[in-house]
Chains A and B, each alone.
Chain A
Amino acid sequence: MRLRLALALVTFASLSLWASGQGPAPSLSAGEQLKMLARNQRLLDDLVERGLGMSAARSPLARIEECRKTTDRLSDELRHAVDRNDSDRIAEIGDHLHLLVSDALVPNLREARDQIRPESADYPLLLEREAQVQRSVNELNPLLPTTGELSKSRRVQLTREKLQKAAQDVQGNTR
């Protein structure tokens, strides 16, 4: 009987541990959502502006430039998150940067390389944009701490891996 109780307790504890490691509940109160809005309102508004810029961009070169501006804007957010020792925010912004690089920047870099040949008049501009965007992406990882408690955070470590991957992807798609 005692054995069964012990088994049940161990199993329950294991499941609790597992459940607590899962993601957050999806629904938020209005107050929590308002706090998020208050925190993100400038970034959200800037992203709307970047979206408008992206809508008006009619060439991969112009879209690369919009991606670079967005990267720099998110880079500011990443820096602030590091200053606040906020590993959750670091992970969140890191994910957005990763998405931006993999789904927006890299495809446009590829398209630009396909369209613009070395003999093209736009070629020097392509090289310039590539260098700019590479610089922006390469500057992301050094923002993350390599020493101290924050550097040991699993989320920060995962973010570092994602940003390293992003930098490699950009490197692999530029001349």
Chain B
Amino acid sequence: MRNFKERERGNGTDMKCEELQNLILALPDPAQPTPELQQHLRGCAACRAVQARARNLDTLLAGLPAPASRVAREAFLAEVGSVAPIIASTHRKAPVKRSWLRAVKWQHAVGIAAAIFIAIGSGWAIFHKRGATPEMAEKPRHELLNQEMKHLTALSQANSATQRLQVWGAWAIDLRKESQAIHKVAQPEEMATLSTMFDKAVSRGMLAQAQEIGLTVPAAERHAALTSAIQQLADAEVEASTLAQSAPTPTQKYFTRMADTAKTARQTLNQRLTGKGS
């Protein structure tokens, strides 16, 4: 009824009789209409007739052993739909055109909302940055460059020859990996650079640090560090020798050079380890 009052206030006398008649039927007691309905009933014979039918119906219903609730009453009305066309119309859903909004079930609405949220969120996360322009995915970065920067940083904080030897060992391994990755398509210029870098990492990096270890570090630590370095160099030697066989002819000499560098360094470290070197 509150809705009716509000709507009636808003729409004045434009409210259709059928709506009002349905409201009369919805009253707890059709004999006691609201003041607004009373005002309408005074000037509308059709609605007064409906009110009379409703009062009559209520009297009949009161005589039945059914519960007096509204639900029970409506169920009954559905069964006795032939009583009057207006009564039937209160329970038969009008064949009105359903809007697309009503056609959407709440589950679907939640799904749509979630999908839109994801789409907007993803777009925002990827593209929004204080007016930044949308960009394609970042190109791959050179892993060897990444690793070299990490090794350089590690060296800046290394405070012993053992630590520095480990860093140079890892650096040499990364150079080996790069050689291994490109060996089938290797070009002389790039391979010359790689083999030169490998030579520096081994001869001026590993060997220089190993020499310091020989002078200052306790025997057990020295032995472990040198043994590990020797193993790395042995692996490098075998790998470079193998790659030399499958690399393009113009670049084979660079792999051979890397194998020779590793072999020489390994022999030097072996001599240090066994105490035969200086």
Interface set of A (CB-CB < 8 Å, partner B): 3, 6-7, 10-11, 13-15, 17-18, 20-25, 28, 30-34, 36-41, 43-45, 47-52, 54-56, 63, 66-67, 70, 87-88, 91-92, 96, 99-100, 103-105, 107-108, 149, 152-155, 157-158
Contact = CB atoms under 8 A, between A and B. Distances in A.
Contacts of B119: 10, 13-14, 17
B108 A3 contact: yes
B171 interface: yes
B131 A152 contact: yes
Contacts of A91: 138
A133 B135 CA distance: 33
B149 A99 contact: yes
Given A30-B185, A55-B208, 10 more contacts: A3-B104, A10-B112, A10-B119, A20-B137, A36-B144, A52-B204, A54-B155, A92-B145, A104-B156, A154-B129
Interface stretch (B46-54, B59-67, B188-196, B267-275): B188-196
A2 to B, nearest CB: 10
Contacts of A20: 126, 137
A17 B156 contact: no
B246 interface: no
Nearest to A50: B152
Contacts, number: 171
26 contacts: A3-B108, A7-B108, A11-B118, A14-B122, A17-B122, A17-B126, A20-B126, A22-B137, A25-B140, A33-B178, A39-B142, A47-B149, A48-B197, A50-B152, A51-B168, A51-B201, A52-B205, A55-B158, A55-B209, A87-B135, A96-B145, A99-B150, A152-B133, A153-B132, A153-B133, A154-B133
B131 A34 contact: no
A100 B118 contact: no
Given A7-B108, A34-B182, A152-B133, A96 B149 contact: yes
Contacts of B145: 36, 40, 43-44, 47, 92, 96
Interface size bucket, B side? 35 or more
B11 interface: no
Contacts of A103: 153, 156-157
A157 B138 contact: no
B149 to A, nearest CB: 5
Given A10-B112, A96-B145, A157-B130, A23 B193 contact: no
